Amino acid sequence: MRRYYFDHNATTPVSAEVLEVLVPALLEVYGNASSIHREGQLAKQKLEAARRHTAALLHADPKELVFLSGGTEADNLAILGTVRANPSAKKHVITTAIEHPAVLNTCRELEREGVEVTYVRVGSDGVVDPADVRRALRPETVLISVMHVNNELGTVQPLAEISSIAREAGVLFHSDGVQAAGKIPTDVKALGVDLYSISGHKLYAPKGIGALYVQSDTRLWPIQFGGRHERERRPGTENVPGALALGCAAAAAEADLVTESARIAELRDRLERGILDRVPACGVNGSLSRRGPNTTNIFFDGVEGEAMLISLDLKGFAVSSGAACSSGAVEPSHVLLAIGLARERARASLRFSLGRSNTAEQVDALIDAVAESAAQLRKLSPTYTSA
């Protein structure tokens, strides 16, 4: 059975061009970038070239880029590092209710440390209102963290408007850009962010490498301790092959960003139209206009999302439910609950996220599989009644 992958927001396969860089680097660039001998200096040169390529994707100065292990560590360093570096006795952080757990759980750790956190609600479209961020400000606010593109809905948040509010208040602004970089144009200077997180495995590089943009005059304490690597922001011998892979992936994404985003958006729209035309009692969650090109989240009333996911998997299609499993119980997505969906509808939703490997033929095959699975499962559903 042939398999088709529609879960690119979870992770992406390593691309052929990245492999062409990564494999020789693993074999040949084995020196420690902190060593002064020839092998070490070669590794240092390669590391800095990777930094330049990665920074170019974000329109950042390479000196403002910190290499680390991925998006989760980048979010942790951005949030914990800035808040702990602030000398104020009383501190307050603003974030949103639809952030990735890498942000939400880091903020909960801050709460355990005595920091107050406001979780701003979003509308039914999945977009935060900048006015709500402004209203959440306090004299003791030290950081605002709002994701760029939501991982479950694909909604794009109004970062430029929020950064203007943050600058006016003298508050640092961080954004989790893991689902944005390489998919939509990303200029950290134009967006006005002070910190911006990205992850290699979301843009066809391997897992275990990511980066954090840190605007040059931002106070940031390390959250790990060791050597003086990465301008004393992230200790540990640098993952040079991983950084080279990320730099290659960033350069490839920048080169065809406009054309590839348009192609994938067309496929995403084709998928949506096909499903909505073929399957009754379903609809798209979140904004239809303010979103990235590759993601759609669709509810199927009367169907358990996990059952639909398994049915599609057996037919050769990888998709995501967006649900979390805790203590053996499947809980609906916190993002879908935050936009006002009932728990039953949230559990009946699936995320489809497209990427480079997807074609129109694959999309049409997925539409057929979704229609067939929905019909099969609804025959067994005690809650679904056809119109």
Rounded alpha-carbon distances, angstroms, from residue 7 to 147, 283, 286, 321, 347? 19, 19, 18, 10, 18
What is the identity of the amino acid at 188? V
What phi, psi does 184 have (nearest 5°)? -130, 155
Tell me the DSSP string of 82-143: HHHH---SS-EEEEETT--HHHHHHHHHHHHTT-EEEEE---TTS---HHHHHHH--TTEEE
**Residue 349 three-state SS:** strand
Task: Tell me the C-alpha distance between 234 and 237, whole Å.
Answer: 9
Query: What is the sign of the dihedral through the CA atoms of 291, 293, 299 and 303?
Result: negative
Q: Give the torsion through C-alpha atoms of 200, 201, 206, 210, to 10 deg.
A: 30
Rounded alpha-carbon distances, angstroms, from residue 358 to 17, 202, 308, 365? 17, 15, 20, 11
- Max Cα distance, the chain (Å): 75
- Catalytic annotation on 282? no
Task: Tell me the C-alpha distance between 29 and 43, whole Å.
Answer: 6
Q: Which residues are catalytic?
A: 325
